[in-house]
Amino acid sequence: MKEARYLVPGDYMADPAVHVFNGRLYIYPSHDWESGIPENDNGDHFNMKDYHVFSMDDVEQGEVTDHGVVLRTEDIPWAGRQLWDSDVAFRDGKYYMYFPLKDRNDIFRIGVAVSDKPEGPFIPQENPIKGSYSIDPCLWKDTDGEYYMYFGGLWGGQLQRYRDNKALECAYLPEGDEPALCPRVVRMRKDMLEFAEEPRDVLILDENGKPLTAGDTERRFFEAAWMHKYNGKYYFTYSTGDTHRICYAIGDNPLGPFIYQGVILTPVVGWTTHHSIVEFRGKWYLFHHDCVPSEGKTWLRSLKVVELEYKDDGTIRTIEGTL
């Protein structure tokens, strides 16, 4: 297994969403900074306030270009605080950035900003997407041309505040043998600015076809949804959050269900773990982050990339988070 490479040593970036546009790799990370807010389970210390875009044409040795700030909290009309993990999709000549942001009531919504170029800048819409909630949007273009958004995150991500896409009077986190909370998936409207339907659950099943339980913390979903396709199969990958793993499950269509397969990345230095997976020039790569350069400060994370390897049966070789 090759050693991972740090990509932006001069700044703290995390939660990378990575895509190939116009033959070049573009990285859309969140931007950590020293906010001075005490660390807590709701993630208030992750008070990110802008996005940069980075690009490169050689993963293993090439220079990383910083295209600068492309969207800031103060640019967004409905903004409260906390620009967390974003993603970008391309359709009909436009690039769409999807971002979670707390509104002025401190509720996470998902917004969208538009650009003519993959490196931005991105111009935000006046309002968040109708019916959106929680965090970590990931966009997937399927083979039929439809676009889907996967999203959701527990604890600070507020997913436990919702059932059937409706806000609960009191948040509820399942425990023990209760079914785990599911991430969400929703088809996007043709203009990419709104949902085309109601979000639905993404079912992750165990080897016996049963939904993963809330008490199965080493396998159940917590946050950081990502989708990719390999040899005709859909790979839904995600973070287990408080047990610090990146895991994967495989299905036959983008809506699931997905059968749990194993661990892609073992725990890294730092509390959070968040990733994306992309193919570039015949190789597959795992982009992620850790807190080694900041000496373990969980709110100051650094981007990394390492080559991803598949076995002949389509399973993924586990990567040690300390590499």
295 in any annotated domain: yes
pLDDT of residue 35: 87
296 in any annotated domain: yes
pLDDT of residue 130: 98
pLDDT higher than 80, residue 323? no
243 in any annotated domain: yes
Peptide bond into 77 cis (omega under 30): no
**Sheet containing strand 204-205, strands side by side:** 204-205, 258-265, 246-251, 233-239, 223-230
pLDDT tens-digit map of 237-295:
999 999 999 999 999 999 999 999 999 999 999 989 999 999 999 999 999 999 999 99
Residue 43 structural domain: 5-308
320 in any annotated domain: no
Residues in the chain: 323
pLDDT band at 235 (very low <50, low <70, confident <90, very high): very high
Backbone angles phi, psi at 81, to 5 degrees: -155, 165
**CB neighbour list of residue 145: distance below 8 Å, 6 or more residues apart:** none
Query: Is there a catalytic annotation at residue 223?
Result: yes
Determine how many CB atoms are found less than 10 A away from the CB of residue 117.
15
What secondary structure does DSSP assign to 87-126, as a single string? EEEEETTEEEEEEEEE-TTS-EEEEEEEESSTT---EEPS
117 in any annotated domain: yes
Query: Is there a catalytic annotation at residue 3?
Result: no
pLDDT tens-digit map of 68-118:
999 999 999 999 999 999 999 999 999 999 999 999 999 999 999 999 999
Q: What is residue 316's DSSP assignment? A: B
**What's 130's domain CATH number?**
2.115.10.20
Q: 35 or 120: whose pLDDT is higher? A: 120
Query: Is the CB of residue 285 less than 8 Å from the CB of residue 59?
Result: yes
Burial-class residue 126 by CB neighbours within 10 Å (0-12, 13-18, 19+): exposed
107 in any annotated domain: yes
Q: 3-state DSSP call for residue 73? A: helix
* Single pTM value for the model: 0.97
What mean pLDDT is predicted for residues 176-195? 98
Exactly one of 15, 32, 119, 136 is catalytic; name it.
Answer: 15
Peptide bond into 257 cis (omega under 30): yes
35 in any annotated domain: yes
Exactly one of 85, 119, 136, 223 is catalytic; name it.
Answer: 223
pLDDT of residue 316: 98
pLDDT tens-digit map of 13-34:
999 999 999 999 999 999 999 9
Task: Give the number of domains in the chain.
Answer: 1
43 in any annotated domain: yes
